[in-house]
C-alpha cells in the first residue's frame, strides 16, 4: 500500500523548501534568457531564494517586482520550477486523472502539466490501462517528489456533518463487485454504496448524488443512490412506463419475476418494481400478471 507522509510532513517540507505541489504568490526578482526568477524569501545572509518561471509561462508585460500566482513542482531534472498553468490536482487534493502510460514501476497520469504525474506501482489499486480514469490524491514522497496515490481514503476526515436521510454528493473512487462502490463524499469523507444499493452502473471518477443510509460510529457513511421509497416511486414508475413503451406495451416482467431479472432489466429492486407497478395499476395505466405487465 506504500508509505505516504502525513500532512504535517508535507507542510514541514514546504516550509523548509518551496511549497511544492501547491499554489504560491511570488515576486519577480530578475530575468534571464531562460525566464523569470521569482523570489520567495530572504535567507539569513540576505540573499533571495528564487525559482525559475520558464519564458513560456511569463504573462505579457510582466516586470521586476510584479507578483504572480504560480504552481510549484519539479522539472524532468528534479529541480523546483514554477508555472502559471493550473494543474488538475494539488497536494492533499483529490481528482480523477487519465492514465497516459503504464510501466513496470508505475503509471503516468495526465494532470495538465507537460511533465506527467507518476503513480507508483505500490500506490495503485487493481490493474490499470491506458485511457482509464483513476481517482487519486497528490502527495510528496520520501525523496521529495510529487506522486499520486489511489489510496485516497487515508486522507479522509471522520467527522461528517450529515445524518440519516441527508442528500450528499461525491465522487466514486473504487468499485468492488463483492462490496459495492466507494465514494469520496464532498471529496473528504468516506462513503460506501453497498452492493445491494447499487441499482445502476457506476464508474470510477463519476460524480454521484446519494442519500445517507447510516452514519457509522467511526464516521464512515453508508449510502444509497435511491431516494426514500415515497419519493422514488414516481421515478420508478416513469422508468417502468418508458420500458413498456420501448417493448411495445408488453414487458416480460411480472409479479412472480425473479429479482435478478428485474434488476438487470430496470436497475431497480423487486420491491421498488412492485411499488411502481402497483401505483401504475391503481392509476389504471397497466395490468399486472405473474410473468408480464401490459400497458392499458
Domain that holds residue 291: 229-295
Specify the pLDDT at position 275. 87
Q: Report if residue 202 sits inside a domain.
A: yes
d(CA 71, CA 206): 26
Q: What is the CATH number of the domain that holds 178?
A: 2.40.50.140
Residues 160 and 220 in one domain: yes
Residue 208: band (very low, low, confident or very high) from pLDDT cuts 50, 70, 90: confident
pTM over 0.85: no
By the 8 A CB rule, do 112 and 87 touch? yes
By the 8 A CB rule, do 253 and 262 touch? yes
Residue 70: band (very low, low, confident or very high) from pLDDT cuts 50, 70, 90: very high
Q: In what order do the strands lie in the sheet with 293-295?
A: 250-251, 293-295, 286-288
Specify the pLDDT at position 42. 55
DSSP 8-state secondary structure symbol assigned to residue 87: P
How many domains does the structure of the chain reveal? 4
User: Cell numbers at residue 40, please?
Assistant: 520567495
Residue 2: band (very low, low, confident or very high) from pLDDT cuts 50, 70, 90: very low
Residue 46: band (very low, low, confident or very high) from pLDDT cuts 50, 70, 90: low
Domain final residue, candidates 224, 256, 273: 224
In 3-state terms, what secondary structure has residue 29?
strand
67-71, 203-207, 271-275, 278-282: least confident range: 203-207
Residues 180 and 207 in one domain: yes
By the 8 A CB rule, do 50 and 37 touch? yes
DSSP string, 249-266: TEES--TT--HHHHHHHH
Q: Report if residue 279 sits inside a domain.
A: yes
Reply yes or no on whether the pLDDT at 233 is more than 80.
no
Q: What is the pLDDT of residues 145-202, one digit of tens each?
A: 899 999 988 888 899 999 988 888 888 888 888 999 999 998 889 999 998 888 778 8
267 vs 157, more confident: 157
Reply yes or no on whether the pLDDT at 44 is more than 70.
no
Q: What is the CATH number of the domain that holds 272?
A: 1.10.10.10
Reply yes or no on whether the pLDDT at 12 is more than 80.
no
In 3-state terms, what secondary structure has residue 245?
helix
Q: Report if residue 2 sits inside a domain.
A: no
Average predicted confidence (pLDDT) for the chain:
84
Reply yes or no on whether the pLDDT at 138 is more than 90.
yes
Amino acid at each position: 500500500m506504500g508509505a505516504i507522509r502525513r500532512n504535517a510532513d508535507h507542510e514541514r517540507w514546504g516550509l523548509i523548501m518551496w511549497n511544492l505541489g501547491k499554489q504560491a504568490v511570488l515576486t519577480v526578482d530578475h530575468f534571464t534568457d531562460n525566464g523569470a526568477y521569482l523570489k520567495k524569501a530572504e535567507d539569513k545572509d540576505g540573499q533571495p531564494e528564487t525559482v525559475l518561471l520558464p519564458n513560456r509561462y511569463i504573462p505579457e508585460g510582466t516586470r521586476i517586482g510584479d507578483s504572480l500566482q504560480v504552481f510549484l513542482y519539479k522539472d524532468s531534472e528534479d529541480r523546483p520550477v514554477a508555472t502559471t498553468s493550473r494543474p488538475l490536482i494539488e497536494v492533499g487534493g483529490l481528482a480523477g486523472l487519465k492514465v497516459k502510460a503504464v510501466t513496470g514501476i508505475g503509471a503516468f497520469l495526465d494532470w495538465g502539466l507537460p511533465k506527467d504525474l507518476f503513480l507508483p506501482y505500490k500506490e495503485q489499486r487493481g490493474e490499470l490501462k491506458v485511457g482509464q480514469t483513476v481517482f487519486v490524491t497528490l502527495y510528496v514522497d520520501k525523496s521529495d517528489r510529487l506522486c499520486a496515490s489511489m489510496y485516497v481514503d487515508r486522507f479522509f476526515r471522520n467527522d461528517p456533518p450529515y445524518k440519516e436521510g441527508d442528500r450528499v454528493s461525491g465522487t466514486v473512487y473504487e468499485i468492488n463487485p463483492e462490496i459495492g462502490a466507494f465514494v469520496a463524499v464532498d471529496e473528504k469523507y468516506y462513503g460506501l454504496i453497498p452492493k445491494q444499493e447499487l441499482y445502476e452502473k457506476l464508474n470510477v471518477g463519476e460524480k454521484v448524488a446519494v442519500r445517507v443510509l447510516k452514519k457509522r460510529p467511526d464516521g464512515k457513511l453508508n449510502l444509497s443512490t435511491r431516494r426514500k421509497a415515497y419519493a422514488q416511486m414516481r421515478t420508478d414508475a416513469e422508468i417502468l412506463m418508458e420500458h413498456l413503451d420501448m417493448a411495445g406495451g408488453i414487458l416480460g416482467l411480472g409479479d412472480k419475476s425473479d429479482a435478478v431479472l428485474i434488476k438487470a432489466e430496470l436497475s431497480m429492486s423487486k420491491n421498488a418494481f412492485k411499488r411502481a407497478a402497483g401505483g401504475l395499476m391503481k392509476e389504471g395505466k397497466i395490468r399486472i400478471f405473474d410473468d408480464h405487465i401490459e400497458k392499458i
